[in-house]
Amino acid sequence: MAAEDLPSEFDVVILGTGTVHLSFLSGDNFLFHLRRSYYAANWASFTFNALLTWIQEQQVSSCLWASTPQVSPQSHLCVLIGGASARARQGLAEEESAEAEEESAEAEEESAEAEEESAEAEEESAEAEEESAEAEEESAEAEEESAEAEEKSAEAEEEKKINYAQLVKEGRRFNIDLVSKLLFSRGSLVDLLIRSNVSRYTEFKNVTRILTYHHGNLQQVPCSRADVFASRQLSVVEKRKLMRFLTSCIEETEMDQAYSNQPYSKYLQDQQLGENLQHFLLHSIAMVTEDTPTEAGLASTRHFLRSLGRYGNSPFLFPVYGLGEIPQCFCRMSAVFGGIYCLRHSVCCLIVDRDANRCKAVIDSRGQRISCSHFVVEDGYLEALGCLFVCRLLSRAILITDSSVLPSDSEQQVSMVTIPPGEVCQSAVKMVELCSSTMTCMPGTYLVHLTCQSVGSAFEDLSQLVTKMFQTPESQEPGTTIDPRRPTVLWSLYFNMADGSVPGVEGQGLPSNVHVCSGPEGSLDHEHSIKQAELIFQRILPDEEFCPPAPNPEDIIYDGESPTPSAEEDSVKEAGQQEESGGDLNIRYTTV
């Protein structure tokens, strides 16, 4: 669509396609602008090669923008590349990082200018200036992840089964997400996928096991009945106690009022469960902290348990080809019903009726005026416009490793690992280890995502844990003994990103029909995003059902056509363009 002119009138213009945006589905007239060549903004999935390009972009843009202190003071992009073949690259990257520092001074100045300009642009709310448009685009691209690049050399290892060149060569076959999340089997996203029939485009893998880091060891957390039965680490009495606690949790018996002001950890302590079980329940099942109130702790325990067993032996699902698939599935559905998508396209200014405090139209990056009744934008773009500052960050690490952190009979395990705060890192770390059948890494490797709330930079926050659990260049320093069973890190990436759970920017002087949604946040599930999408949807269309079931192709009536089957099929193709498969396709899943 990029080359053609767009229609000049839409009901809703949406900038960016994160998961939040895409839950808009009704038959309205939508225009999605995508400022990049990929869908889903920070929700994106990349092929390995695209991820390398993204890293370069971030490094380049960081040279220009990201050292602006108030945007991302602690950002730290650090690419670690293992294997001898990485050497050539390494030299180049080091040069880059040198440049980056030099240019950072300039960057600051420029960014200040850009902010001014963009602010003006909004106020003037009239003509689009080519320059400001460019500036906006660039500043937005800088976003949160970025910053000084730092490359660390990896010692050349011989006899490595998979080397960097192979990763690059096979890179097209697998997708790597920027965010790391899972779907609770009874979470609102799964409900939404089923209710809206978007599930017909999706395919999932079950998370096969829940692990936790406890007393310096990785342990499997028994959470289902079968797990408890099979567990070798629990005594039979512990098994009974755990099962009894879990059963009583599900039954939602009245909570003991004595604990209404007490932390969940205290409540667990008083259930005479023993240290082991308390650890499992607090950190791996409820996934809360020591000071979470009992009520909240019980609620998350229940949420976990309710999801258990719906599609398999764990409460979590992971989309095959990565989380980036989910926004795309919504896109596909929306496109079938007339939503228009525009990649590499942006909005450069809004035309605001000051008296009504409404945005009447947007001017796109090519100067076209597009009238709209509503405008939805991700806060990342506003940040670039200077309307918002990120105050909380997430520390992320992505690793490609050569074996599982806890080898088992099956190579195709998808593991969710919780590392409680204080165990290695200051904050609680959530780790997801994906096997190759999730199509996120090449056969013989595992993709590991680590996420935690930032204390320092991503590298500062997470590298210690990585060194401890995996074999990295650091852990190979002389004098340290390495467990040979530990997986080797073949490639790693550390970066910080904005935490979208920070309260939004409502009422910050934005026009009433401009709706802001946040980017991905640090929690494991999608509850926050779905809730937000529903809220925005209801503000725009207060009388409409949120994500109603999409009709089956055979139930759609086409004007002036007789409902013969063949004609129907054709017309579906016409209307749908991208539609790939009809019929009832529920969530499919495969087990290991």
Partner 1 sequence: MHGRVKVKTTAQQEEEKRKEREKKLKIYVAARDACFSKRKEGVCDDEALQLTQQLLSSNPDFATLWNYRREILMHLETVKDRDEMQNIYEAELSFLEACLKVNPKSYGSWHHRGWVSARLPRPDWARELSLCDRCLSLDDRNFHCWDYRRMVVKVSGVPVDQELEFSDRLIGSNFSNYSSWHYRSTLLPLLHPQTPEAGQEPPHASSPRGPQSHRVCEEQLLKEYELVQNAFFTDPNDQSAWFYYRWLLGRAEREETVSCVYVSREDERVAVAFSRPVNICDLPPGTINDVANEHNLTVHWTGSHTHRDCALYTGRVESWCRDTATDQELFRSELSVEKTSVLQSELQSVKQLQELEPLNKWCLLTIILLMRALDPLGYEKETLAHFQTLKQVDSMRSEYYSDLCSKFMIENTILKMEYAEVRVFSITDRNLTSLCHLDQLLLVTHINLSSNRLQRLPPQFAMLQCLEVLEADNNFLENLEGVYHLPRLQEVSLKNNSILSCRCSFRAQISVSSGTPVLGIGSFCDLCSYLAAYK
Output the DSSP codes for 185-252.
TTSHHHHHHHHTTGGGG--EEE--EEEEEETTEEEEPP-SHHHHHH-SSS-HHHHHHHHHHHHHHHTT
Burial of 505 (0-12, 13-18, 19+ CB in 10 A): middle
Q: What torsion, rounded to 10 degrees, do the Cα atoms 300, 378, 1, 559 define?
A: 60
Q: Which helix (H) or strand (E) is 61 found in, with range?
A: helix 48-61
Task: Report the residue number, 222 or 297, with the smaller CB distance to partner 1.
Answer: 222
CB of 236 to partner 1, least distance (A): 4
Q: 90: which residues sit within 8 A by CB, 6+ positions away?
A: 81, 151, 153
Dist CA 133 CA 366 (whole Å): 9
Task: Report the residue number, 313 or 463, with the smaller CB distance to partner 1.
Answer: 313
SS3 label, residue 134: helix
CB of 306 to partner 1, least distance (A): 18
CB of 15 to partner 1, least distance (A): 21
CB of 244 to partner 1, least distance (A): 7
Task: Report the residue number, 156 or 226, with the smaller CB distance to partner 1.
Answer: 226
Q: Which residues pair with 214 in a beta bridge?
A: 217
Neighbour count for residue 354 (Cβ, 10 Å)? 9
Task: Report the residue number, 172 or 240, with the smaller CB distance to partner 1.
Answer: 240
Task: Report the residue number, 11 or 138, with the smaller CB distance to partner 1.
Answer: 11
Task: Report the residue number, 29 or 437, with the smaller CB distance to partner 1.
Answer: 29
Q: What torsion, rounded to 10 degrees, do the Cα atoms 210, 213, 217, 220 define?
A: -10
CB of 25 to partner 1, least distance (A): 11
CB of 28 to partner 1, least distance (A): 6
CB of 250 to partner 1, least distance (A): 13
Largest CA distance in the chain: 80
Sequence letter at residue 427: S
CB of 338 to partner 1, least distance (A): 5
Enter the tokens of residue 535. 């809220």
Task: Report the residue number, 242 or 489, with the smaller CB distance to partner 1.
Answer: 242
Residues that bind partner 1 (CB under 8 A): 11, 27-29, 225-226, 228-230, 236-237, 239-241, 243-244, 313, 337-338, 551, 555-559, 591
342, 463, 430: which is closest to 37 by C-alpha? 342
Angle at the Cα of 64 from the Cα atoms of 62 and 65, rounded to 5 degrees: 65
Task: Report the residue number, 25 or 162, with the smaller CB distance to partner 1.
Answer: 25
